[in-house]
Structure 1
Amino acid sequence: MTTLVVLFNLKSDADQQAYEQWAKTTDLPTAGALPSVDAFNLYKSQALLMSDERPPYQYIEVIKVNDMAQFGQDVTTETMQKVASEFQSFADNPLFILTEQI
């Protein structure tokens, strides 16, 4: 199984409350219901352990993908293209990292 980790900050003009509301009502339920997705969780950074510095990213998405070929098809639907476009309006240069468990 592949785990997709997405690291991102909000754009400087993005409203944090609007993003979090959109994530809860649109992104998480829509992407989380894709046939290729077993789990989709969103985390908000709190702090760096034993440091006064801010975390480099405000948000982390962790998406458990059971079939990458199917995921590729799932994200091309009209609904997911709309969700992806809305996500891009909030997120500032997100990093999409494909991982596998060791």
Structure 2
Amino acid sequence: MPHVVVLFNLKQGVEKSAYEAWAQATDLPIVRGLPSIGGFDVYRSLSLFGSEKAPPYQYVELIQVDDMTKFGEDVASATMQRVAGEFRSYADDPLFILCDKLG
């Protein structure tokens, strides 16, 4: 089953607490409730393992897509268009990577 990995930083001036409150109250419950989704989690980056350097991205989303056709329909819904617009107000040029699990 495909997954979507989303890598992003917050836009300049966006408070982490504001984004994280929105993610908890809006993004996570709505996306997890979509019929096409088998799982959805948002992770806050802490560090690069074994390095003193900062991670290149502040946040990582992992979306398990159970049905790509239905996912396209879900994403086109008015609710998801609203959520996506709100997400874009927080995230600075996010990368959406479609992945397929090996093994």
Range of TM-score over shorter length: over 0.9
Percent sequence identity over matched residues?
A: 53
Task: Could you list the structure 1 runs, at least 4 aligned residues long, displaced by more than 6 angstroms after superposition.
Answer: none
Where do 1:1-102 residues align within 5 Å?
A: 1-102=1-102
**Cα distance in 1, alignment partners of residues 62 and 54 from structure 2:** 20
- Could you tell me which runs of 5 or more consecutive residues in structure 1 were left unpaired when the two chains were aligned: none
Q: What SS class does the counterpart of residue 74 from structure 1 fall into?
A: helix
Distance in structure 2 (CA, Å) of the matches to 1:83 and 1:74: 12
TM-score (norm 2): 0.98
Give the deviation of 1:13 after TM superposition.
1.4
Q: TM-score, normalised by structure 1?
A: 0.99
- Aligned alpha-carbon RMSD (Å): 0.5
Distance 1:83 1:20 in 2: 14
The residue type paired with residue 101 of structure 2 is Q
Post-superposition CA distance 1:66-97 (Å, at most 9, x none): 01111000011111100000000000000000
In 2, Cα distance between equivalents of 1:48 and 1:15: 22
What is the CA-CA distance between 1:15 and the residue it aligns to? 1.4
